[in-house]
Amino acid sequence: MTTSPFLPFTRPSIDEATIAAVGEVLRSGWITSGPKVRDFEAQLSALFGGRPVRALSSATGGMEIALALAGVGADDEVITTPLSWVATANVVLRAGARPVFVDCDARTRNIDLELIEAAITPRTRAIMPVDLAGLPVDRDRLYAIATARRLRVIEDAAQSMGANWAGRMIGSCGDLVSISFHANKNITSAEGGCLVLNDEEEARRCELWRLQGAVRHGDSWEGMDVTLAGGKHNLTDIAACIGLGQLPHLAAFTARRRELARRYFARIDRSLGCELPLEDYTQSNWHMFQLLLPEGAERGVFISEMRAAGIGIGVHYPAMHLFTLFRRLGFGPGDFPVAERIGRSIVSLPMFAVMQDGDVDRVLAALPAAVAAATKTRAASGARRA
């Protein structure tokens, strides 16, 4: 057992100025959506080149609203990846549509753009790509397909804050872009997210979907109307205050994550047989640093061994089409072999902005024994079955 402090796979960085600012919001008496939310939206809009932005209680809510804005509904289809947090496909089902999974590219672990055309049918209304671990999907190829087939693009950019494609920050271009500020993201508002929109009319409709479809004309309740069955997706001023404190650190956080990724690549023992992520220090924000364990290794054993060494490990993500919900829709093993291979082997190593170089070295020092134990357990289990 280790005597060193436990090293989690992620940890938010909240400075004292932000903590103090949250206290001021609490003392102000205005803790739900108000001036801090408006300020947060304005700063996000400036970051994204002046595009309209609406702050929300989650990126999941952002995708739900984006689907509504795109007119996706009953019997429609949305093309997406099976390798993501399950929210990506759940929102499609909640809209009454069907998720159509496309397998992953083995190198990027993102949706395989070469396979999208074959998945398009007359019912397809949108493509929903995911930037796994903050590595952007090729936006040029993606939008070429979408434009040619007259499809909306709803970017599940939950993991993409601070990433860019060809020098253009994710969110500054494209169609509908949903970004997360969850506690484990590169910048956080504790919980929350935002939706980047195309114009002010779309932003106005987003506001309706964000808060019960309610419209008020002036300050009087007599002037209230409800025009659609919206949801409850508004962000609080408390959360927005945290986000405002995080935004000035975005560039530094991204740069530090890239430094940590470089150290992982430079010092990892490649003879262990783990498959490394794509090495990208210009576009990826390194939201996570993910390895694929050697084929057949027992992931549970690996995680237990690393935890015994005082190191937290994440799993992002199992291939979602193998969950009961999606098996009921007819999906099953073998449908998307690349995603399945990645999903059963992937692990997320510690990666967060305040990690020290020595923390990376500590993780890498623990890897050989953990991989060996996981591989040995699998081999022993196979021998017993034989």
* Helix, strand, or coil (residue 105): coil
Dist CA 186 CA 134 (whole Å): 9
Nearest to 193 by CA among 231, 244, 229, 243: 243
- How large is the greatest C-alpha to C-alpha distance in the chain, in angstroms? 77
Give the whole-angstrom CA distance, residue 370 versus residue 376: 10
List the structure tokens of 134: 């903050």
CA-CA distance, 167 to 337, in Å (whole number)? 32
> Can you tell me the distance from the alpha carbon of 88 to that of 146, in angstroms, rounded to the nearest whole number?
18
DSSP 8-state assignment for residue 320: G
At residue 195, φ and ψ (nearest 5 deg) are: -120, 125
Phi, psi of 325 (to 5 degrees): -55, -40
Catalytic residues: 185
Q: Could you give the 3-state DSSP secondary structure of residue 22? A: helix
Residue 42 structure tokens: 């304005």
38, 207 contact by CB (below 8 A): no
Pairing of strands 346-349, 289-292: antiparallel
